[in-house]
């Protein structure tokens, strides 16, 4: 049981800690909205990781094999969504800066916590590399020892908890960033940097 718990925690942190386009967008979203919205978005990412951990645990190599033919289209779809988010964020920031108005006063209302949760859940589910990652870990474990359903459940819950704790940490950082950089120029710079990073990571996803 302890081994399954430790393996799940390590697997969750292993997939969550590398800061990619989704993590960058999470921080940016929290900085532009609220901590509550960021928390819901973070839980959306963690839910996707947990679902993929569950799917990999139940399906194993069969699921990984079934996903391989659609890896390309899914990767393109994810890159397209992230590119749209990056361009929209940059254009909105420049537009409000040229109008000499604070984003908080003139921007459309930020997404609700529910919409933020669903949006980040959907974006993260578009990344099939996650299920391949978990499937490889699960298959590696099964080649050396039998795993009971209870241990599988502990593994999945631990992976979800690890991912959630890291995503919530990122959301907290985004909330602090939003409080510090409240000026017009600060919001423009952070929005452009965030959009640039997201766009670069989306392009790298296709290389």
| φ/ψ of residue 140, rounded to 5 | -60, -35
Cα distances (Å, whole numbers) of residue 86 to 13, 33, 152: 26, 16, 37
Task: Provide, rounded to the nearest whole percent, the portion of the chain with pLDDT above 90.
Answer: 13
Overall pTM surpassing 0.85 (yes/no): no
Helix extents (H) in 60-148: 61-67, 71-98, 103-106, 113-125, 129-142
Tokens 């604070």 locate to 102
Q: Cβ neighbours of residue 166 under 8 Å, at least 6 residues apart?
A: 12, 13, 16, 17
pLDDT at 130: 67
Measured in whole angstroms, how far is the alpha carbon of residue 83 from the centre of its chain?
Answer: 15
65-83 per-position pLDDT tens digit: 666 676 677 677 767 876 8
Q: What mean pLDDT value characterizes the chain?
A: 75
**154 contacts 5 by C-beta, under 8 angstroms:** yes
Q: What is the mean pLDDT of residues 38-43?
A: 94
pLDDT at 184: 64
196 pLDDT band (50/70/90 cuts)?
confident
Angstrom distance (rounded) from CA 32 to CA 9: 30
pLDDT at 36: 93
pLDDT at 181: 59
Between 183 and 133, where is the model more confident?
133
pLDDT at residue 98 tops 70 = yes
Task: Provide, rounded to the nearest whole percent, the portion of the chain with pLDDT above 70.
Answer: 67
pLDDT at 118: 94
189-38-162 Cα angle (round to 5): 115
Angstrom distance (rounded) from CA 139 to CA 48: 20
């Amino acid at each position: 049981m302890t081994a399954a718990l430790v393996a799940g925690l390590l697997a969750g942190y292993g997939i969550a800690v590398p800061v990619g386009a989704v993590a960058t967008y999470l921080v940016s979203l929290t900085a532009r909205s609220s901590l509550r919205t960021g928390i819901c978005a973070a839980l959306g990412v963690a839910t996707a990781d947990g679902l993929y951990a569950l799917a990999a645990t139940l399906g194993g190599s069969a699921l990984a094999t079934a996903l391989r033919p659609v890896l390309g289209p899914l990767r393109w779809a994810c890159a397209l969504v992230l590119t749209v988010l990056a361009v929209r964020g940059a254009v909105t920031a420049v537009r409000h800066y040229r109008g000499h108005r604070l984003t908080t006063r003139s921007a459309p209302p930020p997404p609700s916590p529910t919409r933020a949760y669903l949006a980040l859940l959907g974006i993260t589910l578009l990344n099939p590399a996650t299920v391949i990652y978990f499937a490889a870990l699960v298959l590696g474990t099964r080649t050396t020892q039998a795993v009971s359903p209870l241990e599988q459940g502990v593994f999945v819950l631990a992976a979800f908890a690890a991912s959630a704790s890291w995503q919530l940490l990122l959301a907290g950082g985004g909330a602090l960033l939003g409080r510090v950089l409240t000026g017009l120029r600060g919001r423009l710079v952070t929005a452009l940097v965030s959009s640039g990073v997201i766009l670069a990571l989306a392009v790298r996803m296709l290389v």
